[in-house]
């Protein structure tokens, strides 16, 4: 059980100090609909002060962060990974209460956050430029430099993991940060920020401005003094923030979700594939950008696969995060209403709910639960096949052959991930090359999160890459130095 002292400050972190806002926002527990605590509601003046603090830390006279060598940054990040692990229980409880996700997943998310700090801690002093052979009287080198002040706007579905992914990489590369967490879930992020400052991160290297997207978020994306913007969330908000950043020619990384397919061929190892198909859609109650939300199955095994999945769906249980069931609630009443409206429209269009999970007997009554479900008999081109539903809803399509499977897989504007289940090596490679997406998994889905593996989208899923060394490089830019000598 969370105690009052477990909650982070109801303030913004600016220049190493916790700063009050004139008003605060209530934080609700999605599993019960009950209030949990409050958070600061930052306004443009907080964002401005946070950007100034980040600038000071990066380049000002008091810029302690700027004076740290790559080795010092590396050592701090590695130590901070240990700190996170030392607080795993409390951080997981915060994330579980705040998002409603099952406790086991929340613990895994905190472990992944620590892994980001360890990975980027290890990488911080191994990133370097090149020398280029040019004319004989020249020495030419490239310097890989941090951008400066990185604005990071993150969502509510994986607050601690996305904190790790963005913050560890940007700090490792030597940047400073102003982070706007999501109003709906930011308690673990605020606690992580508090731990970072308490464990010696120089003032201003990381600033956190909680509040509304339309207030703090919009002020940050349009701030003239940010040097880079990384955004994770919906395509619509992604367009807004990219337009705002473009006013000041600020480079952006956009991670905007997906409608990722899982392709199951008749020769697949179904004992491995089917549990992964289920996990790919119910993890985080389907509120995952990389959710495997479309199942494409080959005709000759379609009936038996659907029958098998129906049994698995019927066995799924929804409950509060603490109960550690298969599925937690959705994040808020708005997301639940939006999804239920789409499901009602789908039913009215003749789409069949082939199977559904259940609410656990003692699940709280006020929670935003939507039962996991499997949809079949879907008319060609129906919106459930190409729109992100962001809930535990799997849509099924049947294909005849590899060519049709590829065409269906690519019949979306999104392109984040894809899973291919087949024993045929040639087909694995042909499809891996043919599918339009940022990640392709063969005979697995998600590679257990893989902090080391570059991640990002194509088309409506966004652009730029996070995670792995690519993520670290994306927080740097190249300067070319050409020296003429005798």
Among the listed residues 109, 184, 227, 402, the single contact to Mg ion using CB under 5 A: 184
Q: Which is nearer to ligand NAP, 181 or 202 (CB)?
A: 181
Our answer to whether residue 289 is catalytic in this structure is yes
217 binds ligand NAP (CB under 6 A): yes
The full length of the chain comes to 486
- Three-class SS state of 309: helix
Owner of token pair 């700063």 = 19
271, β-bridge pairs: none
Please give the residues from 16 up to 75 whose contact with ligand NAP meets the rule CB under 6 A.
Answer: none
212 binds ligand NAP (CB under 6 A): yes
247 binds ligand NAP (CB under 6 A): no
177 binds ligand NAP (CB under 6 A): no
The footprint of Mg ion on this chain (CB under 5 A) covers a number of residues equal to: 1
Q: Can you tell me the distance from the alpha carbon of 420 to that of 429, in angstroms, rounded to the nearest whole number?
A: 10
Q: Can you tell me the distance from the alpha carbon of 447 to that of 300, in angstroms, rounded to the nearest whole number?
A: 28
Measured N-to-C along each axis, helices 402-409 and 425-434 cross at an angle, to the nearest 10 degrees, of 30
For residues 13 and 351, is the Cβ–Cβ distance under 8 A? no
Please give the residues from 382 up to 441 whose contact with ligand NAP meets the rule CB under 6 A.
Answer: 388, 390
Q: Which is nearer to ligand NAP, 92 or 182 (CB)?
A: 182
Residue 157 site contact among Mg ion, ligand NAP, none (CB < 5 to 8 Å, cut-off depends on kind): ligand NAP
Which positions from 278 to 297 touch ligand NAP by CB under 6 A, shown as an x/- string? -----------x--------
Q: Which of 96, 150, 289, 318 is catalytic?
A: 289
48 binds Mg ion (CB under 5 A): no
Q: Can you tell me the distance from the alpha carbon of 92 to that of 105, in angstroms, rounded to the nearest whole number?
A: 9
466, β-bridge pairs: 455
Q: Can you tell me the distance from the alpha carbon of 270 to that of 161, in angstroms, rounded to the nearest whole number?
A: 30
For residues 83 and 195, is the Cβ–Cβ distance under 8 A? yes
190 binds ligand NAP (CB under 6 A): no
Please give the residues from 109 up to 168 whose contact with ligand NAP meets the rule CB under 6 A.
Answer: 153-157
Q: Which is nearer to ligand NAP, 74 or 335 (CB)?
A: 335
Our answer to whether residue 466 is catalytic in this structure is no
Q: Which is nearer to ligand NAP, 155 or 367 (CB)?
A: 155
For residues 415 and 258, is the Cβ–Cβ distance under 8 A? yes
255 binds Mg ion (CB under 5 A): no
103 binds ligand NAP (CB under 6 A): no
Q: Is 400 left (phi over 0), alpha (psi -120 to 50) or beta?
A: alpha
Per the structure block, which two tokens stand in for 403?
Answer: 């060519």
* Other CB atoms within 10 Å distance of the CB of residue 273: 24
By CB under 5 A, name the binding residues for Mg ion: 184
By CB under 6 A, name the binding residues for ligand NAP: 153-157, 180, 182-184, 212-214, 217-218, 221, 232-234, 237, 240-241, 255-257, 289, 335, 388, 390
Catalytic residues: 255, 289
């Amino acid at each position: 059980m969370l105690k009052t002292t477990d909650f982070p400050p109801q303030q913004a972190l600016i220049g190493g100090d916790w700063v009050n806002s004139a008003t605060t926002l209530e934080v609700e527990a999605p599993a019960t609909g009950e209030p949990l605590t409050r958070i600061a509601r930052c306004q443009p003046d907080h964002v401005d002060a946070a950007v100034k603090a980040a600038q000071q830390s990066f380049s000002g006279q008091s810029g302690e962060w700027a004076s740290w060598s790559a080795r010092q940054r590396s050592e701090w990040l590695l130590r901070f990974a240990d700190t996170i692990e030392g607080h795993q229980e409390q951080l997981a409880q915060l994330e579980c209460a705040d998002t409603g996700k099952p406790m086991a997943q929340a613990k895994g998310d905190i472990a992944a956050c620590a892994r980001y700090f360890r990975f980027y801690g290890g990488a911080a002093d191994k990133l370097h430029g090149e020398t280029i052979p040019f004319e004989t009287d020249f020495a030419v080198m490239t310097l890989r430099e941090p951008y400066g002040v990185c604005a990071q706007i993150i969502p509510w579905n994986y607050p601690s993991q996305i904190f790790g992914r963005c913050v560890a990489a940007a700090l490792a590369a030597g940047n400073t940060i102003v982070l706007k967490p999501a109003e709906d879930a930011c308690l673990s992020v605020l606690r992580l920020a508090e731990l970072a400052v308490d464990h010696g991160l120089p003032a201003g290297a990381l600033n956190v401005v909680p509040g509304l997207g339309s207030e703090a978020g919009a002020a940050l994306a349009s701030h003239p003094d940010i040097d880079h913007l990384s955004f994770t969330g919906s395509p619509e908000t992604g367009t807004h923030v990219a337009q705002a950043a473009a006013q000041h020619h600020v480079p952006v990384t956009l991670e905007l979700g997906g409608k990722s397919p899982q392709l199951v061929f008749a020769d697949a190892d179904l004992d491995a594939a089917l549990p992964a198909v289920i996990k790919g859609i119910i993890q985080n109650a389907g509120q995952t950008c990389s959710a495997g939300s479309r199942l494409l199955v080959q005709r000759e095994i379609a009936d038996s696969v659907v029958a098998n999945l129906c049994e698995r769906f019927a066995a799924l249980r929804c409950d509060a995060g603490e109960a550690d069931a298969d599925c937690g609630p959705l994040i808020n009443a708005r997301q639940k209403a939006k999804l239920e409206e789409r499901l009602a429209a789908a039913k009215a269009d003749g789409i069949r709910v082939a199977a559904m999970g259940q609410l656990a007997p003692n699940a709280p009554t006020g929670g935003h639960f939507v039962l996991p479900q499997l949809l079949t008999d879907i008319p060609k081109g129906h919106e459930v096949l190409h729109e992100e539903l962001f809930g535990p809803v799997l849509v099924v399509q049947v294909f005849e052959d590899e060519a049709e499977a590829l065409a269906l897989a690519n019949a979306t504007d999104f392109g984040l991930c894809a899973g291919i289940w087949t024993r045929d090596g040639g087909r694995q490679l042909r499809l891996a090359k043919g599918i339009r997406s940022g990640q392709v998994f063969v005979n697995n889905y998600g590679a257990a999160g893989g902090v080391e593996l570059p991640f990002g989208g194509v088309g409506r899923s966004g652009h730029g890459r996070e995670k792995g060394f690519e993520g670290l490089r994306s927080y740097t830019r190249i300067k070319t130095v050409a020296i003429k000598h005798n």
